[in-house]
Structure 1
Amino acid sequence: MKLTVVGGGSTYTPELVDGFARLRDTLPVRELVLVDLAAERLELVGGLARRIFARQGHPGRVVTTDDLDRAVEDADAVLLQLRVGGQAARNEDETWPLECGCVGQETTGAGGLAKALRTVPVVLDIAERVRRANPRAWIIDFTNPVGIVTRALLQAGHRAVGLCNVAIGFQRRFADLLGVAPVDVHLDHVGLNHLTWETAVRLGGPEGENVLPKLLAEHGEGIADALHLPRAVLDRLGVVPSYYLRYYYAHDEVVRELRTKPSRAVEVAEMERQLLKLYADPALDEKPELLARRGGAYYSEAAVDLAAALLGGGGSPYQVVNTYNNGTLPFLPDDAVVEVQAAMGPQGAAPLPVPEVDPLYAGLMANVTAYEHLALEAALRGGRDRVFRALLAHPLIGQYEYAEVLTDRLIAHNREHLAWA
């Protein structure tokens, strides 16, 4: 099969390539096409990708190109991992909201809206070109904010599924704590992208024994530390929230922390500089250890599993993905995009039934879903008033004075990416 990675010059890509090489029996890739406009980065990443394939005896070929139409021609699946504006734009997303006392983060709050406004039009243009090249191709979206981007793709009628590595990270961590294989751990994972809770951890499958109480009793301190939340919070909730919930549960504390250190974008930009230097070494034929600090842990395993299921070659029968709600969470609109366990196959994702959701989580999901609806409207149609409405609706903002100022700053920092501004 032919797979295309849009944004193939990303320093993430060797993680993905390593997974394709190791898991070739699950996903037999005949041709891997890496497409990116950043020619120098693309060649460095592409060279390492070829060496990784060669080291592991993978028979497929790796092609690099800056020609998107050529790259997606006859592709069975297209993986999107874009960052419109690069780390420079991310640094701004993580900086200017702090001036108003709001979290500066690349996927949520005002920074997340800025990223959505930059990204959605670009992704939809790419998706249309994929559809013209091969209407049956699947689009796997790893581009943040995944929920909003996936909703844009589905709303436009594309064959798309959103993917995030939060769930697979929890699965691997819990499996290690329990001393079992990851495949034996099934998560009752519910929410929206970057707004999720593990409400049960089951052994053996969807009907298996719930061992979450055991995990919290025996390993609650370590789990809480990894989330940067007090152990008492997990004990009172009785669930494990995504680490993104800290932006909501400890907002002011996070803002104080973020104001005292360089942005994550600055840290990542330095890592990328070091990684690209490593990638340039013709002797390097495996992903370097430094890549683990870049983020995206287990991305390759999740991507291979999902692509294999969608293309009919295998993959896990149940996977956590982003897809249309369609009644899964009855308190949300059918066209909301939720992140839940789903039965996967060539026809796409069929969400599994979800037990009744505690109002403590359902209320926040409904609030953020309303924001995502308004954010997508702003991304598709533009206009200062639509940006303001989305910011006012976001629970991390919610005050009109903040929304007014943040609207002006968002537009000022992103004018070159906003056709209507």
Structure 2
Amino acid sequence: MAEGVKIVTIGGGSSYTPELMEGFINRFDELPIREMWLVDIEAGKEKMEIVGEMAQRMWDASPYDVKVHLTLDRREALKDADFVTTQFRVGLLNARIKDERIPFSYGMLGQETNGAGGMFKAFRTIPIILGIVDDMRELCPNAWLVNFTNPSGMVTEAIIKYGKWDRVIGLCNVPVGAMMKEPEMLGLELKDLIYQFAGLNHFHWHKVSDQKGNNVTAQIIDKMYSEDSGIPANIHDIKFSRELVDQMGIIPCGYHRYYYMADEMLQHGIEEYNTIGTRGQQVKQTEAELFELYKDPNLDHKPEQLAKRGGAHYSDAACETIASIYADKKTHVVVSCKNNGAIPDLPNDSAVEVSAYITAAGPMPIAWGPMEPAQRGWLQVMKAMEECVIEAAVTGDYGLALQAFTLNPQVRSGACAKQVLDELLVAHKAHLPQFADKIAELEAAGVVVKDEIARDLV
């Protein structure tokens, strides 16, 4: 690497960017940044300029002389980059709202990364990320790609399998939230505990020991039923069945509520759909408020309101991951990476979300070993679904997309699954060129989006 580090953030107009800047500023002594580039598309230009000016104010308020460059030209930014972070949303928040409202209109879960909406987020995102990888291969072949774009696990696997790019790490804020909250429950600090996570992105479990090697997972489970368990702001907090969690003896992640407590979560989601609006509609309001704050020429630090976003704290994990690669710190971070035997119940070349030590050579995943039957069954079904989604995203194979819908536990199979698939294809026509022929066929057959709010966003 050249003296100092060049970092490029694609999706630089994200409301999360100030948190990313804060993390880099806090770590400048161990991660000396030479150049900071924010990249976005024409539709995100205004937001990038607002957040870019704020990012520059943050650096100007620090002791460090770093210039924040803004561009709509991805290739200009990528030239000789050391690290590329990706945090973009294809179709912006309106696409998320369609992902949520169309399934809910059929009585199915509408959610950003789970169910039908989550699969469509992958369909839109994977072709774009593979294009970024192609540019990186040409312009910065030694760079690391640190992806926060959801669905992070599927995106990471697509990069490894179809992009043929191994210098990639996927990140998520959910494990960070657990490791921030749970030590407090025991009156301890994170340094007093040993964490191990294993599973898939938004579908992992973890266990915890103290510094004497005693398993304290059961003590945390006890506290989960009497205290705030620190789940992300975007997940409705319904308690898991106590008998289920006690039997597992490991702690499920917040997103497991969509599978272990599916009826309750669906009911809550439908209530919001019919009243205050889906989570995406709520986030749109939060985002508008954040960008009004960011416009303040006196604001030079991350505002507290950013914590209302469901992805709060993920940026800190990203900065620590990059610093750990750069300085070979061997920090424990929970990442999506190539399995390489960490979970023997899944293929070695699949992306899993596991505890890993982050080294100059990348993530070294910590082996969990075989899962118990219940967890193994869930993982294998979810991974098969992910594999179908990824291949369909690359090939535009409609039949394979329908297979993925049929496998996904959040989608009712049969005619209803096909109706939701077809409406979502039509709704996202502008961002699904790989399905263009099928979408034209569906439109000719009269397929339209029935939900009025989603239809107005098409």
**Alignment equivalent of 1:190, drawn from 188, 194, 198:** 198
Worse overlay, 126-135 or 20-29: 20-29
- Amino acid of the structure 2 residue aligned with 1:328: A
Name the counterpart of 1:180.
188
Structure 2: runs of 5 or more not aligned = 232-236, 437-458
For residue 345 of structure 1, report the CA deviation from its aligned partner: 1.0
**Alignment equivalent of 2:238, drawn from 228, 236, 239:** 228
How does 1:365-404 map onto structure 2 within 5 Å? 365-397=379-411, 399-404=413-418
CA RMSD of aligned residues (A): 1.8
Q: Render the CA deviation track for 1:223-263: whole Å, top value 9, x for unaligned.
A: 56854214624334332211100111111221211112111
Paired with 1:287 and 1:91, the residues of 2 have a C-alpha distance of 26
Name the counterpart of 2:32.
28
How does 1:256-271 map onto structure 2 within 5 Å? 256-261=267-272, 262-271=277-286
**Structure 1 position 81 matched with structure 2 position 96:** no
Worse overlay, 246-255 or 368-377: 246-255
Name the counterpart of 1:59.
65
Cα 1:355–1:300, aligned 2, differ >3 Å: closer, same or farther?
same
**Structure 1 position 133 matched with structure 2 position 139:** yes
**Structure 1 position 254 matched with structure 2 position 260:** no
**Structure 1 position 349 matched with structure 2 position 341:** no
**Contact 1:171–1:186 under 8 Å retained in 2:** no
Name the counterpart of 2:310.
295
For residue 93 of structure 1, report the CA deviation from its aligned partner: 0.5
How does 1:145-156 map onto structure 2 within 5 Å? 145-155=151-161, 156=163
For residue 23 of structure 1, report the CA deviation from its aligned partner: 2.1
Q: Secondary structure at the match of 1:210?
A: coil
**Contact 1:203–1:211 under 8 Å retained in 2:** yes
**Contact 1:4–1:77 under 8 Å retained in 2:** yes
**Alignment equivalent of 1:202, drawn from 205, 209, 215:** 209
**Structure 1 position 211 matched with structure 2 position 216:** yes
For residue 219 of structure 1, report the CA deviation from its aligned partner: 4.9
Name the counterpart of 2:173.
165
**Structure 1 position 364 matched with structure 2 position 378:** yes
Cα 1:147–1:8, aligned 2, differ >3 Å: closer, same or farther?
same
Q: Secondary structure at the match of 1:84?
A: coil
Q: Secondary structure at the match of 1:221?
A: coil
Q: Secondary structure at the match of 1:290?
A: helix
Paired with 1:208 and 1:27, the residues of 2 have a C-alpha distance of 33
For residue 97 of structure 1, report the CA deviation from its aligned partner: 0.9
**Contact 2:198–2:343 under 8 Å retained in 1:** no
For residue 180 of structure 1, report the CA deviation from its aligned partner: 3.3
**Alignment equivalent of 2:127, drawn from 112, 117, 121:** 121
Paired with 2:225 and 2:15, the residues of 1 have a C-alpha distance of 33
Cα 1:218–1:125, aligned 2, differ >3 Å: closer, same or farther?
closer
Q: Render the CA deviation track for 1:355-376: whole Å, top value 9, x for unaligned.
A: 4311111110100000000001
Paired with 1:225 and 1:150, the residues of 2 have a C-alpha distance of 26
Name the counterpart of 2:7.
3
How many residues align structurally? 417
Q: Render the CA deviation track for 1:90-146: whole Å, top value 9, x for unaligned.
A: 001111111232210111111011100100001110111112111100000100001
Q: Render the CA deviation track for 1:24-71: whole Å, top value 9, x for unaligned.
A: 223222211111122211111011111111222223221111111111
Paired with 1:170 and 1:26, the residues of 2 have a C-alpha distance of 26
**Contact 1:318–1:343 under 8 Å retained in 2:** yes
Paired with 1:225 and 1:144, the residues of 2 have a C-alpha distance of 21
TM-score w.r.t. length of structure 2: 0.87
Q: Render the CA deviation track for 1:254-294: whole Å, top value 9, x for unaligned.
A: 12111121111111111111111111110111111111101
